[in-house]
A and B are shown apart, each in its own frame.
Chain A
Amino acid sequence: MLKLETRASPSNTMALASPLIALAVTVAVGIVLFVLLGKDPLLGLQMFFIEPVKSGYAWSEIAVKAVPLILIALGLALCYRANVWNIGAEGQYILGAIFAGGIAMQIDADAPRAIVVVILVAGVLGGMVWAGITAVLRDRFNANEILVSLMLVYVAEMLLSYLVYGPWRDPNGFNFPQTVTFAKVTQVPRIFSGLRVNIGLIIALVAVAGMAVFLFRLFRGMQAQVGGLAPLAARYGGFSSRSALWTALLTSGGLAGLAGALEATGPLGQLTPYVPVGYGFAAIIVAYVGRLNPLGIVFSAILMSMFYIGGELAQSRMQLPKSITGVFQGLLLFSLLASDTLIVYRMRWVRRPVRAEVSKPARIEGANA
């Protein structure tokens, strides 16, 4: 039988190979799925892996989706390294969009261009406020951050819905639940004319570099991670786990809020109930597949964007539901976690009889422990 054996030290090769194995497993399952659904698997693979990266325009579309994923996943990577289980990035993203949109909708066409900076900062603050609630409740009342941050996602969705159906609804919008279209001056500047990709891409890449420096070069970054890996060692070293909690949550909230602000004032240009599209949850997968490493996150965000665009193409050209993207995303994380086992363990073939007698511990009846 196959037996798992602990490796002497975790395998670095496997840590890098694991996302590729997971991708291979996901693709294999995808091929089976296409065949079962009576679709041409080669065409399916083409939709997901070739069409989304075929041209400059296609790459711009990849970037439009990768930017929010990268920003959110960077923050989550810090959280998970610090052992803070923030899974409510979707809510922090919504609050970022609400704060940014709330300002953008009031800006006149003749405002200075620098207003974009104010709007983006407001988005960061919105995300930080929302993550801050989770931090306070965890810090002061010991409330589980997994459940609190997730519950706040539903609350944020309802808050957005209230605003766009209620006080913020465009009076000339034919009763549609949406705000006015933001003035052109509030729009995040695009990098190339004719392509949707905007300076959000540059901000995201700067954030990648910044997070890499913070995690691997700054003392504070190390403190935050030690608190997660070894709380006792952190306390011995005089590092506060409270400050690690706050650093992780405020940073990830701010980044998610920034992503929401960029989305609201970039591709969307107004607030609707459809601002949240699940980037906050997909970014959890991006963070893990990217090994909680800033550079890795760039690659996994590109992959995840390909899944999104592939899903849209599969819907329009192969008559498959777009939600196939969610299936592949979930599968990818599942297979990743499974193949991650091989980082710490190795598989070995052992003959069954050898263990037969030894493995049954003697049962001492009536013995008191």
Chain B
Amino acid sequence: MNEIALLVAATLNAGTVLAIAALGLLINERAGIVNLGAEGLMLVAAVAGFATAVHSGSDWLAFGAGALAGAALAAVFGLLVIWLNTNQYATGLALSLFGAGFSAFVGQPLTRERLGERASFDIPFLSDIPLIGPALFKQHPMVWIAIALTVALAWWLTHSRSGLILRAVGESPESAHALGYPVRKIRLAAVMVGGALCGVAGAYISVVYTPLWVEGMVAGKGWIALALTTFATWKPARVLAGAYLFGGVTMLQFTLQGQGVQVPSQFLVMLPYLATILVLVLISRNAAWIKANMPASLGKAFSPGG
């Protein structure tokens, strides 16, 4: 029984990384921009966060540093694709490649550093409940923040004026422009917020989830987060559910190994990647359904008056 509690706790933890990144990507995709640079952003943010945590000892400063790094890189990406109309796929890819190289370079001296003892965030009384306590109430606050963020984002996109404007920009930038909204500035803001959230997720990996810095440690989570927005048909609640599902798949390997299942570890490590492909296949089969839910101008360049 205790193993189940630990699996649930680990699933929420792993899912949180994916959820925060995917919610960020959802924001910029709702504004019409695909950022294939998520993986690179998260790597650089992981370095920035880890370095900050090593020097300051504060997780929260580390998340802030990750967010800043993510937003700064996303701004470069945004300026290129929004103002210079470069191809979004190619530019995002460039960001991923640059991020991988840059993080490895900057992170070199950090590979030997270790963080001090991690704080525990047990909620009094609730965490003492058998089974449910260790499963749910010993989580890092970021787990709760991710849930709150999901709720807030779902509300904001459907019930607030600014949320509707963001979606208008993603559906039909021409109409939004004709109504007088600064399409490009809104898109840049969305890209930067998305980058900041990816950055928080990256910093969470190196500061809480793993916690250390190894080259390439994001290990495809940025790409899985990108896939998640499609799985979730760009709806925040489904992003969160999908993130937990994938968190569970990632954690399954440790449970199976713990149970003494005789499968080589490499096949267990493959699971989240295979699961991504499988879900992608299942979801994409119905092209019309995807198309009906996808922001209509996703990935397309927009230049006002030209």
Contacts and interface: CB of A to CB of B under 8 A. Distances in A.
Interface of A: 4, 6, 85, 87, 137, 141-144, 146-148, 150-152, 154-155, 158-159, 161-162, 165-166, 281, 284-285, 288, 321, 323-331, 333-334, 337-338, 340-341, 344-345, 359-363, 369
B122 interface: no
B175 to A, nearest CB: 7
Interface residues of B, number: 53
A341 B97 CA distance: 20
23 contacts: A141-B284, A141-B285, A142-B285, A142-B287, A148-B280, A150-B220, A151-B227, A151-B273, A151-B276, A155-B274, A166-B264, A281-B97, A285-B97, A326-B100, A327-B101, A328-B101, A330-B100, A333-B94, A337-B90, A340-B86, A341-B84, A341-B85, A361-B179
A344 B76 CA distance: 20
B284 A143 contact: yes
Main SS class of interface, B? helix
A148 B226 CA distance: 12
A284 B97 contact: yes
A154 B36 contact: no
Main SS class of interface, A? helix
A270 to B, nearest CB: 19
A340 B84 CA distance: 9
Contacts of A341: 84-86
A6 B270 contact: no
Given A142-B285, A143-B281, A147-B276, A288 B264 contact: no
B80 interface: yes
B56 interface: no
A330 B223 contact: no
A155 B270 contact: yes
Contacts of A324: 105
A155 B220 CA distance: 11
B180 interface: yes
Contact of A144 (B100, B104, B230, B269): B230
Contact of A155 (B80, B85, B230, B273): B273
A151 B223 contact: yes
Interface in B255-288: 264, 266-267, 269-270, 273-274, 276-277, 280-281, 284-285, 287
Contacts of A338: 80, 84, 86
Given A144-B280, A326-B102, A341-B85, A360 B97 contact: no
A344 B303 CA distance: 13
B93 A87 contact: yes
A321 B84 contact: no
Contact of B277 (A143, A162, A165, A369): A143
B49 interface: no
Interface in B134-168: none
Contacts of B119: none
> Nearest 9 pairs between A and B by C-beta?
A326-B101, A330-B98, A323-B104, A162-B266, A333-B94, A363-B180, A321-B108, A158-B266, A341-B84
Contact of B178 (A142, A334, A361): A361
B91 interface: yes
B102 A330 contact: yes
Contact of A284 (B93, B105, B220, B273): B93
A318 B93 CA distance: 30
Contacts of B277: 137, 143, 147-148, 151-152
A104 B82 CA distance: 50
Contacts of B180: 360-363
A327 B98 CA distance: 6
Nearest to B286: A142
A285 B273 CA distance: 24
Contact of A337 (B86, B178, B270, B274): B86
Contacts of B83: 4
B90 A331 contact: no
A359 B177 CA distance: 10
B306 interface: yes
Contacts of A285: 94, 97
A24 to B, nearest CB: 17
B177 A361 contact: yes
Given A147-B276, A166-B264, A4 B98 contact: no
Nearest to A134: B277
B227 A147 contact: yes
B230 A326 contact: no
Nearest to A328: B101
Nearest to B76: A334
B87 interface: yes
A281 B175 CA distance: 38
B86 A137 contact: no
B219 A144 contact: no
Contact of A6 (B90, B281, B306): B306
B267 A363 contact: no
Contact of B215 (A143, A159, A323, A359): A323
Among B83, B94, B95: residue with most chain A CB under 10 A? B94
Contact of B36 (A146, A148, A326, A334): A146
B89 interface: yes
B267 A162 contact: yes
Contacts of A150: 220, 223
B92 to A, nearest CB: 9
B94 A143 contact: no
A87 B285 CA distance: 21
Nearest to A278: B100
Contacts of B295: none
A159 to B, nearest CB: 7
Nearest to A363: B180
Given A326-B102, A333-B94, 7 more contacts: A144-B230, A158-B267, A284-B93, A329-B97, A337-B87, A344-B85, A363-B179
